[in-house]
Amino acid sequence: MGFEGVKQPMIIDINQKLRLKNSSEVDWKLAEEWYKNEKILYYSEGIKDGRVYNLDTINKMYTYLSNIGEMYFIEYFENGKWIPIGDATLSDQNMPIIIGDEAYWGMRIGKLVIGRLLKRAREIGIKKITIPAIYKYNARSRNLFTSFGFRKISENEGEETFELEL
């Protein structure tokens, strides 16, 4: 299923403190700090040699994700304003998510975001979502997706592939 003809909403509310916001290239610079975090790059990209993403790399990644699905910034309401804290993409080909600001780790935000994106997937008629690669050492990500019923369909030495029929 492609996303042609599907209008991506500007905002998807999750609860009073959490929402997804359609982002555009003008917003993408906000993510630069997230992708300088070696832990983020290790768990999401397998990078462990100290490299970080620059704005050009982030722009290429977000352009790709926007082309295969709906790419959102995760925003948290705090001190009277919405603060971008991470990103997530809904696509039948992948469903990457990062909470880029470690201050928000462990708050079950990922679970709320994935739950809402799966609801959106059903609303727009996606029948199956594949997660092509979760690193075997990334137990948090594996546990998050399997908690929603994703099942492992293949693996290699370092990664596992998961799928969910909706």
**CATH number, residue 87:** 3.40.630.30
Is residue 15 situated within a structural domain? yes
Question: What's the confidence (pLDDT) of residue 2?
Answer: 55
26 vs 14, higher pLDDT: 14
Question: What's the confidence (pLDDT) of residue 98?
Answer: 93
Strand residues in the chain grouped as ranges (E)? 11-15, 18-22, 70-78, 81-90, 97-99, 128-135, 151-155, 159-165
Question: What's the confidence (pLDDT) of residue 78?
Answer: 96
Per-residue model confidence as pLDDT tens digits over 97-135: 999 999 999 999 999 999 999 999 999 999 999 999 999
What integer best gives the mean pLDDT of the chain?
Answer: 92
Please count the structural domains in the chain: 1
Question: What's the confidence (pLDDT) of residue 3?
Answer: 65
Of the candidates 116, 126, 76, 69, the one whose C-alpha atom is nearest the C-alpha of residue 95 is 69
Contact 153, 163 (CB under 8 A): yes
pLDDT at 1 over 60: no
Question: What's the confidence (pLDDT) of residue 18?
Answer: 98
Per-residue model confidence as pLDDT tens digits over 63-95: 999 999 999 999 999 999 999 999 999 999 999
Is residue 95 situated within a structural domain? yes
- Full domain range(s) for residue 89: 11-126
Cα separation of 7 and 1, whole Å? 14
CA angle 56, 29, 67 (to 5 degrees): 65
Of the candidates 129, 127, 116, 128, the one whose C-alpha atom is nearest the C-alpha of residue 11 is 116
Which DSSP category does 7 fall into?
P
Which DSSP category does 115 fall into?
H
